[in-house]
Amino acid sequence: MTAMSVVPVPSSEGGQHRQPIITAAIELTARSGWSAVTMARLAELVGVSRQTVYNEIGSKPALAEAMIAHELGRFLAVVRAAFERHPTDLVEAIYDAVRAVLELAENNILLRAIASATHGTDTEFLPLLTTRAGTLLTEAKAELHDRVRSYAPPLDDSQLTVVMDLVVRSVLSHVMQPSGTPSSTADGLAWVAARLLGTAPPASMRTRS
């Protein structure tokens, strides 16, 4: 029986070392590429045994899943915070959420590693991202749908789903290939979202091209 075949399946909660291991893996991926990430190297960086890394994470594919889930959690957290800051103004909430996501993406080391992979420098990570893409989109759209629904826009659920799909995909497109500052992009997307949601948009946009 191989060592990998007896690796326990870890809990998604994990123990005290799980988060430091995930953080170290993200930093190592950004610095040296996904191929440089090994359980032995992570154990060295975190200061634990290799068996502890296996116990906390399980396997390298499971580590990739945990890294991606970690980053998604960070993005959803800033979205939630933005909506909580504007409980009665949907347009301001959308603007604030989009701007916060794009600002977070500017310095996101995992996204830089992903961008590097798409240019052919590290292709091993891409299949894992492709596998998770549908789930990531679903989770992001569900979060935004629930938040926007609480403002009671004049749309039924199917119409709101279409708008949220458009907004999320637009934001992700700007994350990977920015065409302006976070503020100007957020301004434009908030204006468009207000039109689609049947909510009165601002009299004028904050920024002008």
HSE toward the beta carbon, residue 174, CA cutoff 13 A: 23
Tell me, yes or no, whether 40 and 70 share the same domain. Answer: no
pLDDT digits (tens, 9 = 90+) for 123-134: 565 566 656 666
CATH number at residue 139: 1.10.357
From the list 96, 94, 37, the residue with the least C-alpha distance to 62 is 37
Domain-embedded: residue 104: yes
Tell me, yes or no, whether 37 and 106 share the same domain. Answer: no
Tell me, yes or no, whether 42 and 79 share the same domain. Answer: no
Tell me, yes or no, whether 41 and 109 share the same domain. Answer: no
Which of residues 4 and 88 earns the better pLDDT score? 88
Which two three-digit tokens encode residue 56?
Answer: 């906390």
Q: Which domain holds residue 45?
A: 4-58
Q: Where are the extended beta strands (E) located within the chain?
A: none
Q: Residue 158: is its pLDDT beyond 80?
A: yes
Burial class for 98, CB neighbours closer than 10 Å (0-12, 13-18, 19+): buried
Tell me, yes or no, whether 93 and 137 share the same domain. Answer: yes
Which of residues 142 and 71 earns the better pLDDT score? 142
pLDDT digits (tens, 9 = 90+) for 11-45: 445 688 999 999 999 889 878 878 889 999 999 99
Residue 164 and residue 142: Cα distance in Å, rounded? 8
Tell me, yes or no, whether 179 and 102 share the same domain. Answer: yes
Domain-embedded: residue 208: no
Q: Where is the domain boundary, 58, 73, 98?
A: 58
Which of residues 84 and 109 earns the better pLDDT score? 84
pLDDT digits (tens, 9 = 90+) for 166-185: 998 888 888 878 889 999 99
* Residues 6 or more apart whose Cβ sits within 8 Å of residue 198: 153, 154, 155
What is the number of domains present in the chain?
A: 2
Tell me, yes or no, whether 96 and 193 share the same domain. Answer: yes
Tell me, yes or no, whether 49 and 70 share the same domain. Answer: no
Q: Residue 115: is its pLDDT beyond 70?
A: no
Contact 148, 164 (CB under 8 A): yes
Give me Rg for the CA atoms of the chain. 20
Domain-embedded: residue 205: no
